[in-house]
Amino acid sequence: GQSLEQPSEVTAVEGAIVQINCTYQTSGFYGLSWYQQHDGGAPTFLSYNALDGLEETGRFSSFLSRSDSYGYLLLQELQMKDSASYFCAVRAGGFKTIFGAGTRLFVKA
């Protein structure tokens, strides 16, 4: 089977740093993506890691360890607008992508 595990909810304070973890078990693995989705909106792409290590894009960073089947999304200098759901997703073969159930991030003032 194929499964991705991520926490269902995370709460953090404005200005803080938060890490959302994702562990995966899939029949194929080409890379790990992260998407953001605000309520009522469509998912939007944040990052993609094909190789081990840290990728940084502004306030967001994403990490991958293929040997541990593990990755995380790091959000720094949290802002209220970062309140949203965050999905990890595995590129499992070709361009087929399997999504996790999502982590709802609440940012408090």
CB of 38: closest distance to another protein in angstroms? 12
Of residues 55 and 70, the one with the C-beta less far from another protein: 55
Of residues 30 and 70, the one with the C-beta less far from another protein: 30
The dihedral sign for the CA sequence 106, 88, 4, 38: positive
CB of 109: closest distance to another protein in angstroms? 27
CB of 42: closest distance to another protein in angstroms? 4
- Contacts with another protein by CB under 8 A lie at 2, 30-31, 33, 41-45, 48, 50, 87, 89, 91, 94-102
